[in-house]
Amino acid sequence: MTTSQKTALVTGANKGIGKETARRLGALGITVLIGARDAGRGGAAAEELRAEGADAHFVALDVTDELSVRAAARHIDAAFGRLDILVNNAAVAAAPQKPSEAPAATVRQVYETNVFGVIAVTNAMLPLLRHSGAARIVNMSSELGSLAHLADPDSPWSPYSSVLLPYCSSKSALNALTVLYAEELRAEGILVNAVSPGYCATDLNRRTGVRTPQEGAAVAVGLATVGADGPTGAFLSEDGPIPW
Ligand SMILES: NC(=O)c1ccc[n+]([C@@H]2O[C@H](COP(=O)([O-])OP(=O)(O)OC[C@H]3O[C@@H](n4cnc5c(N)ncnc54)[C@H](OP(=O)(O)O)[C@@H]3O)[C@@H](O)[C@H]2O)c1
């Protein structure tokens, strides 16, 4: 590995949009670390990408487990010495329920992955990201996290968002995190953005999405590799800015 070789960590990269994001970063010649909580699934995804010519490695990472997060950071430090790109992609959803019927325990469980997991991973990886001259953090959000959409009863997402309080509000919180990290890290040249991949057919939605995971990965890859003049603290889809 040369010192100019970039390294990217994608959380939840064993399948879906995360795996496709890793695949595309790998195809660009970036070393990709497949963060996954299951060694079998993560190892298989890394092997699949290596067979295509990518420099891909499995990294054990359960974003809800602080010990696992810290161990992953230590491992990346020892093996690569730095991190150039972090894609906070891992997420879970809960079964549809009206807000009034969503148990707090369910909301807490979703936040453990979608919100607290992102904070734990970002904070653990920041020392490594600071060793990159031009680090990028991409948070995989959703239009379902847009407060503007949630407040609009005529929004095309309304039928979904009205029964997905845990997931939608976790992505609203993720958007807030994005802005706050972007502000703190702006002076260091670390660009932090939230993206929406669009409605993609993955296990998260029992493959009801209308886009492919490959299509969904494009916007994250673009911001993961954007130049120093790129945006920070933005919320973007392929079509441009999304209202907060
Ligand atoms: N699909 C869509 O239409 C859509 C739309 C907007 C935003 N998104 C966002 O895109 C991202 C990827 O979602 P997807 O659709 O590709 O879903 P997916 O196929 O269900 O993939 C989710 C990934 O997250 C991993 N994960 C879950 N909990 C984890 C944990 N505690 N630690 C580590 N990894 C964990 C899963 O691993 P396991 O295999 O071990 O469960 C899996 O690899 C998510 O942030 C999602 O919110 C998706």
DSSP string covering 143-174, please? GGG-HHHHT-TTSTTHHHHTTBHHHHHHHHHH
Instruction: Tell me, using a 6 A CB cutoff, whether residue 69 lines ligand 1.
Output: no
* Range 122-127 average pLDDT: 98
Write down the residue that tokens 């807000």 correspond to: 99
pLDDT at 2 over 90: no
Please report, rounded to a whole number, the percentage of residues in the chain having pLDDT higher than 70.
99
Average pLDDT, the chain: 97
Q: Both tokens of residue 115? A: 């919100």
C-alpha neighbours within 13 Å on the C-beta side of residue 117: 29
pLDDT at 214 over 70: yes
Give the DSSP letter of residue 17: H
Q: What is the per-residue pLDDT across 30-89, written as a single tens digit (0 to 9) for each?
A: 999 999 999 999 999 999 999 999 999 999 999 999 999 999 999 999 999 999 999 999
Pick from 15, 143, 205, 215 the residue to mutate for probing ligand 1's pocket: most ligand atoms within 8 Å of its CB.
15
Q: What is the per-residue pLDDT across 86-120, written as a single tens digit (0 to 9) for each?
A: 999 999 999 999 999 999 999 999 999 999 999 99
Q: How far apart are CA 3 and CA 139, in angstroms?
A: 26
Q: How far apart are CA 202 and CA 17, in angstroms?
A: 8
Q: Residue 216 in 3-state DSSP?
A: helix
**What residues does 211 pair with on adjacent strands?**
200
- Predicted confidence at residue 26, as pLDDT, reads 98
Q: What's the Cα-to-Cα distance from 230 to each of 181, 220, 223, 233, 237, rounded to whole Å?
A: 16, 13, 8, 10, 14
Q: Both tokens of residue 241? A: 């800015």
Q: By the 8 A CB rule, do 5 and 31 touch?
A: yes
Instruction: Tell me, using a 6 A CB cutoff, whether residue 62 lines ligand 1.
Output: yes
- Predicted confidence at residue 4, as pLDDT, reads 76
* Range 180-208 average pLDDT: 97
Q: Both tokens of residue 195? A: 């993206």
Pick from 9, 11, 14, 17 the residue to mutate for probing ligand 1's pocket: most ligand atoms within 8 Å of its CB.
17
- 7-92+117-142+170-241 falls under which CATH superfamily? NAD(P)-binding Rossmann-like Domain (3.40.50.720)
Residue nearest (by alpha carbon) to ligand 1 atom 33: 62
Instruction: Tell me, using a 6 A CB cutoff, whether residue 242 lines ligand 1.
Output: no
Q: Residue 12 in 3-state DSSP?
A: coil
- Please give the positions annotated as active site: 167, 171
Residue nearest (by alpha carbon) to ligand 1 atom 11: 89
In the chain, where the domains are located = 7-92+117-142+170-241
Q: What's the Cα-to-Cα distance from 65 to each of 22, 70, 204, rounded to whole Å?
A: 22, 9, 21
Write down the residue that tokens 């706050």 correspond to: 180
pLDDT at 1 over 60: no
Sign of CA dihedral 224, 227, 231, 232: positive
- Predicted confidence at residue 3, as pLDDT, reads 58
Q: Which residue type occupies 195?
A: V
Q: What is the per-residue pLDDT across 136-154, written as a single tens digit (0 to 9) for each?
A: 999 999 999 999 999 999 9
Pairing of β 85-88 and β 56-60: unpaired
Instruction: Tell me, using a 6 A CB cutoff, whether residue 125 lines ligand 1.
Output: no
- Predicted confidence at residue 123, as pLDDT, reads 98
Instruction: Tell me, using a 6 A CB cutoff, whether residue 197 lines ligand 1.
Output: yes
Of ligand 1's listed atoms, the one at least distance from the Cα of 38 is 40
Q: How many helices (H) and strands (E) does the chain have?
A: 9, 8
